[in-house]
Amino acid sequence: MTFLAIIIAVFVFAGTIKGMIGLGLPAVSMGLLTIAMSPFQAASLLIVPSMITNIWQLFAEGRVWAFIRRFWTLLAGIIAGSIWSFLPTLSQSHGHHSEILLGCMLALYGLYGLCVKKLPHLGQYERWLSPVVGYLGGAVTVATGVVIIPVVPYLQSLHLQRDELVQALGLTFTVSTFCLAFFLHHHPMQGITLDYRLSAVALVAALLGMWLGKKIRYQLNEQRFRRLFFMGLTALGLYMILH
């Protein structure tokens, strides 16, 4: 019962953050869940909530095919990186290396959000950067369960319009989640089975959190909340590294 309560509480909280600022569900849920369970088990719980919310984010604005044509090399890189990863994967590291790497990713993402005010415009290098960034993102996905660095900063450096950025993130997150689900299914960890019923419970909790987040979005100072969010991610990442 306590285990189920932890899952519900984490995904309601992570969903609330996503509802308020439009991101953070995988990073927050993975970071908090790995305090109580292995990264492999946490990643398996993340599959359904992440998949549903990312697909919704992808198709909300239409023009999906145009984004696929533009970012197909980025997506191909994510797939290649998840298949031929150069990092210790969730099933290989038995939790220790994955937890440290996830902590590093969360801390870097938090520091990036706090410190970087204006990114350079990398649009002119998009043709050759996309497959490289995609490969690194795919490798990080199967090593930590979360695709953050370097995909999110890279897409933001292309200076897309806000709706375009949200949709591009939805596209890359959807593909990386499919890759993660495929990887976890074909590389099971001894003693841990994927429980999609618990993942469905996590989905309901995440959707409830998103609903709550949208309700309170306009009652808070968004910039201040974003700052607190990135500070929290940095602290959580450092805790995982030191712990």
Q: What is the 3-state secondary structure (H, E, C) of 156-196?
A: HHCCCCHHHHHHHHHHHHHHHHHHHHHHHHHCCCCCCCCCH
- Distance from C-alpha of 84 to C-alpha of 88, rounded to nearest angstrom: 11
pLDDT (tens digit per residue) in 187-240: 776 555 666 778 889 999 999 998 888 887 777 776 777 787 888 888 888 887
C-beta of residue 185 within 8 angstroms of C-beta of residue 194: yes
- Residue-wise pLDDT tens digits, 145-198: 888 888 988 998 898 887 788 788 889 989 999 999 898 888 776 555 666 778
Taking the alpha carbons of 132, 76, 29, 208 in that order, is the dihedral positive or negative? positive
| Residue 39 to residue 8: CA distance in whole angstroms | 17
More confident residue, 56 or 79: 79
Is 0.75 surpassed by the pTM of this model?
A: yes
Question: Higher-confidence residue: 73 or 106?
Answer: 73
pLDDT at 84: 93
Residue 237 near residue 110, CB atoms below 8 Å: yes
Which tens digit of pLDDT belongs to each residue from 130-140?
Answer: 999 999 999 99
d(CA 83, CA 180) in angstroms, rounded, equals 10
Q: What is the pLDDT of residue 189?
A: 65
Give the residue with greater pLDDT, 242 vs 220: 242
- Specify the number of domains making up the chain: 1
Torsion of CA 157, 43, 139, 237, to 10 degrees: 60
Distance CA 199, CA 61 (A): 27
More confidently predicted of 192 and 45: 45
Query: Which DSSP category does 214 fall into?
Result: H
Show the domain range for 110. Answer: 2-242
